[in-house]
Structure 1
Amino acid sequence: MTIRYLPSPPTDVSSGWTIRTWHDLVVEAEAIALAELDSPLAISALCGALAVSERTLRKAFHNVYGVPPCRHLRMQRLLQARRALLSSDSNLTTVTQVATRYGFAELGRFSVEYRRIFGESPSETLQRTSQAEASKSPQAPKDSPSPRRYRSVVVAHPAFN
């Protein structure tokens, strides 16, 4: 992960008064971490770029989201990977391509976590999307049964409640 240092001077966010608030720190961290999605997430590099300790970054994420930075940022990447799977054609795209595009190097772990969060495997999402697109094609006979409709479902992650 290539991190560019921010031009703002380092501040101690844990002190009582500061220019940078918890929310500002989290927003900066998200911008840096999500700017290069194809690189694995490295919290230590992120802390270096923000000029804060891991403890300070953890405190900021806990105060803003109630979860550690690695969990929140991994969830953001998972959501973006899901959007990519939902908008991709299974004949042209593979789950491996999508997973690595969003910085998931361990494909087995990606698949397990994806299933836990979204209730289906990444390949099922990709296949379902392609089947839905195929059923919309104008070649389908008019008297054939209507294609199965899928609702968009927003899954609330327990850590975000």
Structure 2
Amino acid sequence: MASAVEGGTVPVLRTSFATRDADEARDFLDTAYGSSLRLSGLGGGASLRYERIDAGLFTVDRITLPGRLSFACEPLDAMIVNDVRAGQLEVDSAGSEERAGAGSLVLNPAGVPYTAQSNGCTINSASLAAGVVRDTAGIPIGGRTAPLRYAAAQVAPATPAAARLWRAAVDLAADQFGRDQALPALLVSNTARLLAAAALAAFPAQAAPDPAPADETDATPATVRRATAFIASHADRDVTLAEIADAACVTPRALQYAFRRHLGTTPLAHLRTVRLDAAHRELLAADPATATVTGIAMRWGFAHVGRFAAHYRAAYGTTPGTTLGLRT
């Protein structure tokens, strides 16, 4: 998957593909997943069908696999969650064999090879760049805490509610990114982290180590000053908790302690406040004949305009549209 750029926009591409030819299908899927895929069993006149939304940091796919197909995939630098909507999928990953029927979610962790057999499967699949998942889980740049570790493929989500949350997040991404377009990089990265958070809720990673004693002693006003200065100068970019902590020269946990102790909030909540203020100032200065609330909200990383409006009203006592000069 391509990486999102800082600031600016990211191209979102939609691809549709169908074939009855096994070699053509294998070549296409090799390119789509960036891996050497060994595919067998395609034939009998039925078509393999594939649709993909590619936003760089994540993809959302819908795949129809006719008949009984076998495939093997080399390790990828991405987490993949397959939502089996019809048929049956059998997965062998790191020596663990799992069988998933319709309604099952199957996790293929980053960096783990796997083989699978599908029998009349329709699958909604989403892949997430491994770095986004690590950042969302609070894994800092420089490896100050343990990386995420999954032993093998998993079929059972943590709870039914977590499975529903995952499907809702994928549906939101598919709806918002469902056509070729260029979207703000901040919106793309925030959606990627929403998907990563939903994936981690469905398939929790191994717990991070207990906080080091230094995390408490590093939670100082100086840490907050360094972090808030970094946030102020990077609010228009894709900023993660790990990057803020790295700029403040502390661990993410120490950064969270510092913000709670001295500001009574969290680093990412402070980042949202800074972005909300920037959107407010842009709304005040914008020309209502050419600007839109949706465009300004998305530019500052607010993917859901309704939630943006609620945050805005709570902060400023009015609606974004009123500030822009529009009738609501």
Choose the corresponding residue for 1:99, options 268, 274, 297. 297
Q: CA deviation at 1:106?
A: 3.1
Alignment counterpart, residue 73 of structure 1, candidates 271, 284, 290: 271
Kindly provide the CA deviation profile for residues 52-74 of structure 1, in whole angstroms up to 9, marking residues without a partner as x.
22221111112221212222221
- Counterparts of 1:1-161 in structure 2, within 5 Å, are 12=214, 14-15=216-217, 22-127=220-325
Question: Structure 2 length as normaliser, TM-score?
Answer: 0.32
Question: How far off its partner does 1:107 sit?
Answer: 2.7
CA RMSD in angstroms comes to: 2.8
Higher strand proportion (structure 1 or 2): 2
Residue pair 2:235, 2:271 contacting (<8 A) in 1 also: no
**Mapped contact 1:115–1:121 kept (Cα < 8 A):** yes
Q: How much identity, in percent, do the aligned residues show?
A: 33
Where does the alignment leave 5 or more consecutive residues of structure 1 unmatched? 6-11, 131-161
TM-score (norm 1): 0.59
Contact 1:29–1:50 (8 Å) recurs in 2: yes
* Aligned residues of 1:13 and 1:22 also touching (Cα < 8 A): no
Q: Deviations over 1:26-69 (max 9, x none)?
A: 12212222323333442133224434222211111122212122
Higher Cα Rg, which structure: 2
Gaps of 5+ in 2: 7-140, 142-213
CA distance in 2, matches of 1:126, 1:40: 25
Structure with more helix by fraction: 1
Q: CA deviation at 1:13?
A: 5.5
Contact 1:23–1:60 under 8 Å retained in 2: yes
Q: Deviations over 1:66-106 (max 9, x none)?
A: 21222222112211211111121111211123223323233
Question: 1:29–1:46: 8 Å Cα contact kept in structure 2?
Answer: yes
Contact 1:57 1:69 (8 Å CA) reproduced: yes
Aligned to 1:143: none
Q: Higher relative contact order at CA 8 Å, sep ≥6: structure 1 or structure 2?
A: 1
